[in-house]
């Protein structure tokens, strides 16, 4: 928002503060000043000069050589290309050394003729052009006098107002803030209260949840014309273009008091005014000339004919706007619910000064004072008469109330550096009023003050943080569940980094096309994906139901950089609309892994092997050492191979290989293997303590066994059976060979021979051959009985 210091000075004495001092004052009070612009003539070397002679340039048809009197006692020769002047006119003359905003005037030659300065147009010296060519100054202007003394200069502060401070979105609101910070009085507003009357015949609010309060004032006999100079100057000072006196008044009041207004041409409105929700598919032609499709979420101002007059709180309609032919107007002043305005403005991509204020929360009690000021100015500038009372419907919502200030906590937080009396004085300067029961009544324009800590923050902000002494008050705080989770996640990160992985941090929004890469912990059903209502782009349209799409996109970028080995992981949140909409089902955390390419760097001594699914399985096992891990085959949509990951007797995630078709799309020369694990379960499993054991003191013994099993029997089923085996001497087992013969010559095509190596050891002695044989036979008998298979 642009703030004019000249405009601001009509409400508060700035005590001669420089722009830099005001910048520092506001910044330390939490109001960011993004820029300072000086408007008007900047340089004292731009003076009034009279053209005494003008002759044709000898070498240029479009240039003339002038002799001007700049009050120096002798004439100054300047070459000029303008044509709108005559000898005797007084114009701005930029003497050598005049700074025109980074361009410094000097003495030069133009087409061989010396030119000692420049005759300027208004826009070239910081003013507004009123004519094409040189700026013609008044005939009585004193020759040699700096032009800046003839015109009012101004300074603009470009201020960034945080969303919780809509009270600052006006010059009066900013003046109120300045008065508080500078400890000076605020000039009172000259506004007479309106006579109001509730009227259900003239106004009907069908959507009180969107517009709880609406007022109309009819003014007859206005003369719509150009605004007076002071009003145009006010609007132009903050970058607004004057339109006509009625519209300019509503814009002036908006920037004066911060409450938007709108004027209708009464001849184009059929009573009553109806505040309603738009119908789905209804269209609206706005003042900007564009047509907007509406939905039932949009608040519409219409009349009895059903015609759309305005999009409530955002923009007026082209068909009911004020023109030069208007003689009677209806002045609207209302309060609109911020969330409704924000939703419509974002969906329609239609923003205005009005919507900017309403969506942040205008003062509910500001509608009538704003209307009163606008009515007074319209009567002064455009003439006319007010017909009857101001008509109202509904009531302004009560958004503020009494708030308690805990003085003990104030002392604790500020180290008792601010006295209770000074705190009370600051709150009074902010507009709060002390009540008999020790509470503070918050004014309607400060709806952000709702709690004790809000009052403390305001007191400290106004006093200045530098006035509160710094002190160390650190105390011991017991660790929480959040701390434990953070520590567990960091241990997992360190383990993965040690295994050669790089951490990714991808955006939580993905494109529709990326959903095929999702590897959710539970299969996605129609409607499970959560879509963004107003995505910034098609690439950010869906909340990710899995972290895998982000890893695959990252792998694709790495592949384009000729990466030969890729190991990526990401920890983060995923989102899905499953479980009946329960909050716990909408958002959870997971760990995603991706490997592809070479298992180790290339070497001249050996050809590098490609990473496979067993590499990824071993990596997952390394994250949860000591916990048996199994991959249970299960089809995963859009992937070539899929499995559920079981550990500790529970399903902890999903495992898959990217399909060859998808692999070709991203130009990957090697298969990509991915996994996604439930982070909550993984933390608990990774936290299982593993006792550090001494190296075995006694030798062990191994036995190999080959099972004759159906080809369809999964290895996971065999490992599960071994896991159930209660044999104290069996310390480990592993699959060492697999043989199949699709031709059926050496082994039936529907059978396989799978070899396991079983390791036996006792902690207190060396096992005899008989002990090993007995334990081995018991193990084989159990496995064959459990699975119904034989041994070869």
Chain CA centroid to CA 701, Å: 65
- 781 — pLDDT class (breaks 50, 70, 90): very high
276 vs 474, residue with greater confidence? 276
Q: pLDDT value at position 578?
A: 64
Q: pLDDT value at position 583?
A: 43
Q: Architecture of 402-467 per CATH?
A: 2-Layer Sandwich (3.30)
**Topology match between the domains 2-40+154-182 and 402-467:** yes
Instruction: DSSP letter for 611, please.
Output: P
Q: pLDDT value at position 474?
A: 66
Q: pLDDT value at position 79?
A: 95
Lowest mean pLDDT among 67-81, 477-491, 493-507: 477-491
Instruction: Write down the mean pLDDT value for the chain.
Output: 91
Buried-exposed string 217-255: b where 16+ CB fall within 10 A, e elsewhere:
bbbeebebeebeeebbbbbebbebebbbbbbbbbbbbbb
Region 269-276 average pLDDT: 94
Order across the sheet with 587-597: list the strands. Answer: 502-503, 565-575, 587-597, 672-678, 650-658, 639-647, 629-633
Region 203-219 average pLDDT: 96
Among residues 108, 113, 107, 106, the alpha carbon closest in space to that of 57 is found at 113
- Residue 251, pLDDT > 90, answer yes
Reported CATH class of domain 482-686: alpha beta
Q: What's the CATH fold of domain 46-150?
A: OB fold (Dihydrolipoamide Acetyltransferase, E2P) (2.40.50)
**Going by C-beta distance under 8 Å and a sequence separation of 6 or more, which residues neighbour residue 213?**
334, 335, 364, 367, 392, 393, 394, 395, 396, 397
Structural domain spans, the chain: 2-40+154-182, 46-150, 196-394, 402-467, 482-686, 701-791
Share of the chain above pLDDT 70, in %: 98
- Residue 123, pLDDT > 80, answer yes
Q: pLDDT value at position 652?
A: 94
Q: How close are the terminal C-alpha atoms of the chain, in Å?
A: 85
Q: pLDDT value at position 76?
A: 95
Cα–Cα dist 630/714, whole Å? 11
- Residue 473, pLDDT > 80, answer no
Cα–Cα dist 249/227, whole Å? 9
Region 479-508 average pLDDT: 94
- Residue 746, pLDDT > 60, answer yes
Q: Which CATH number fits domain 196-394: 3.40.50.970, 3.20.20.140, 3.30.565.10, 3.50.40.10?
A: 3.50.40.10
Q: Per residue, what are the HEC states of 45-101?
A: CEEEEEEEEEEECCCCCCCEEEEEECCCCCCEEEEECCCCCCCCCEEEEECCCCECC
Q: What is the CATH number of domain 2-40+154-182?
A: 3.30.56.10
Region 753-782 average pLDDT: 94
Quick: pLDDT tens for 676-686: 999 999 999 98
Structure-block tokens of residue 246: 């009625």
H or E element, residue 661: helix 660-665
Compute the half-sphere exposure of residue 280: CA atoms within 13 Å on the CB side of its CA. 0
Among residues 568, 563, 628, 565, the alpha carbon closest in space to that of 592 is found at 568
Lowest mean pLDDT among 132-141, 469-478, 498-507: 469-478
Q: pLDDT value at position 584?
A: 45
Lowest mean pLDDT among 11-20, 268-277, 420-429, 486-495: 11-20
- Residue 16, pLDDT > 90, answer no
Quick: pLDDT tens for 716-744: 889 889 888 889 999 989 899 999 999 98
- 460 — pLDDT class (breaks 50, 70, 90): very high
| SS3 label, residue 542 | strand
Q: What is the CATH number of domain 701-791?
A: 3.30.70.380
Instruction: DSSP letter for 610, please.
Output: B
Do 121 and 128 touch, CB atoms closer than 8 A? no
Quick: pLDDT tens for 542-571: 999 999 999 999 999 999 998 989 999 999
Do 357 and 258 touch, CB atoms closer than 8 A? yes
525 vs 14, residue with greater confidence? 14
Quick: pLDDT tens for 438-452: 899 999 999 999 999
Quick: pLDDT tens for 581-621: 444 457 899 999 999 999 877 777 777 788 998 899 999 99
Within 10 A of 285 (CB to CB), how many other CB atoms are there? 13
Do 393 and 213 touch, CB atoms closer than 8 A? yes
Quick: pLDDT tens for 625-662: 888 888 888 999 899 989 999 998 899 999 999 999 99
Cα–Cα dist 314/357, whole Å? 9
- Residue 689, pLDDT > 60, answer no
- 10 — pLDDT class (breaks 50, 70, 90): very high
Region 209-217 average pLDDT: 96
């Amino acid at each position: 928002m642009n703030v004019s210091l000249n405009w601001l000075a009509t409400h508060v004495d700035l005590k001669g503060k420089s722009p830099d001092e005001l910048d520092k004052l506001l910044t330390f009070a939490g109001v960011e000043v993004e820029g300072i612009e000086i408007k008007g003539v900047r340089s004292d070397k731009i003076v009034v000069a009279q053209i005494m002679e003008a002759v044709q340039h000898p070498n240029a048809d479009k240039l003339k050589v002038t002799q001007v009197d700049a009050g120096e006692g002798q004439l100054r020769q300047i070459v000029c290309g303008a044509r709108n002047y005559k000898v005797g006119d007084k114009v701005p003359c930029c003497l050598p050394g005049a700074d025109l905003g980074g361009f410094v005037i000097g003495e030069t030659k133009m087409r061989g003729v010396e030119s000692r300065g420049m005759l300027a147009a208004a826009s070239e010296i910081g003013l507004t052009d009123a004519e094409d060519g040189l700026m013609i100054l008044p005939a009585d202007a004193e020759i040699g006098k700096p032009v800046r003394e003839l015109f009012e200069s101004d300074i603009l502060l470009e201020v960034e107002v945080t969303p919780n401070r809509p009270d600052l979105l006006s010059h009066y609101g900013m003046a109120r803030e300045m008065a508080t910070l500078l400890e000076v009085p605020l000039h009172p507003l000259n506004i007479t209260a309106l006579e109001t009357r509730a009227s259900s015949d003239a106004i009907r609010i069908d959507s009180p949840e969107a517009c709880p309060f609406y007022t109309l004032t009819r003014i007859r006999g206005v003369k719509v014309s150009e605004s007076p100079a002071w009003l145009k100057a006010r609007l132009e000072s903050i970058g607004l273009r004057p339109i006509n006196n009625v519209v300019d008044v509503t814009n002036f009041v908006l920037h004066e008091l911060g409450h938007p207004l709108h004027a209708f041409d009464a001849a184009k409105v059929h009573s009553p005014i109806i505040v309603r929700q738009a119908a789905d598919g209804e269209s609206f032609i706005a003042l900007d000339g564009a047509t907007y499709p509406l939905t039932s979420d949009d608040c519409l101002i219409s009349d009895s004919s059903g015609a759309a007059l305005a999009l409530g709180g955002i923009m007026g309609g082209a068909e009911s706007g004020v023109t030069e032919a208007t003689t009677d107007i209806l002045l609207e002043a209302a309060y609109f619910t911020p969330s409704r305005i924000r939703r419509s403005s974002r969906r329609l991509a239609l923003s205005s000064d009005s919507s900017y204020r309403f969506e942040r929360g205008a003062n509910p009690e500001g509608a009538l004072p704003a209307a009163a000021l606008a009515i007074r100015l319209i009567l002064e500038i455009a003439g006319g008469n007010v017909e009857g009372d101001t008509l109202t419907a509904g009531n302004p919502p009560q958004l503020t109330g009494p708030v308690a200030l805990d003085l003990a906590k104030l002392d604790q937080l500020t180290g008792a550096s601010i006295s209770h009396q000074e705190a009370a004085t600051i709150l009074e300067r902010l507009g709060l009023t002390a009540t008999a029961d020790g509470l503070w009544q918050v004014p309607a324009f400060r709806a952000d003050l709702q709690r004790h800590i809000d009052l403390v923050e305001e007191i400290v902000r106004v006093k200045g943080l530098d006035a509160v002494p710094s002190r160390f008050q650190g105390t011991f705080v017991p660790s929480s569940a959040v701390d434990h989770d953070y520590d567990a996640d960091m241990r997992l990160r360190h383990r993965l980094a040690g295994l050669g992985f790089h951490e990714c941090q991808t955006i939580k929004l993905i494109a529709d096309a990326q959903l095929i890469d999702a590897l959710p912990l539970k299969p996605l059903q129609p409607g499970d994906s959560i879509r963004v209502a107003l995505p910034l782009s098609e690439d950010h349209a869906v909340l990710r139901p899995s972290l895998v799409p982000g890893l695959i996109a990252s792998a694709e970028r790495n592949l384009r950089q000729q990466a030969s080995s890729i190991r990526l992981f990401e920890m983060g949140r995923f989102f899905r609309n499953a479980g009946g909409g329960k909050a716990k089902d909408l958002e959870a955390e997971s760990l995603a892994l991706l490997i592809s390419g070479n298992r180790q760097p290339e070497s001249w001594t050996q050809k590098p092997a490609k990473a496979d699914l067993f590499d990824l399985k071993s990596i997952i096992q390394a994250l949860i050492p000591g916990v048996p891990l199994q991959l249970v085959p299960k089809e995963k949509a859009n992937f070539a191979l899929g499995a559920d990951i079981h550990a500790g007797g529970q399903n902890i995630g999903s495992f898959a290989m990217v399909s060859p078709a998808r692999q070709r799309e991203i130009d990957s020369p090697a298969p990509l293997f991915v996994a996604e694990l439930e982070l909550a379960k993984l933390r608990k499993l990774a936290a299982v303590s593993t006792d550090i054991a001494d190296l075995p003191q006694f030798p062990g013994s191994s036995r190999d066994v080959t099972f004759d099993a159906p080809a369809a029997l999964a290895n996971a089923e065999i490992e599960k059976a071994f896991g159930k085996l209660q044999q104290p001497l069996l310390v480990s087992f592993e699959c060492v060979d697999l043989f199949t013969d699709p031709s059926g010559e050496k082994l039936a095509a529907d059978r396989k021979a799978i070899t396991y190596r079983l390791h036996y050891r006792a902690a207190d002695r060396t096992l005899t051959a008989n002990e090993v044989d007995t334990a081995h036979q018991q193990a084989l008998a159990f496995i064959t009985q459990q699975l119904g298979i034989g041994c070869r």
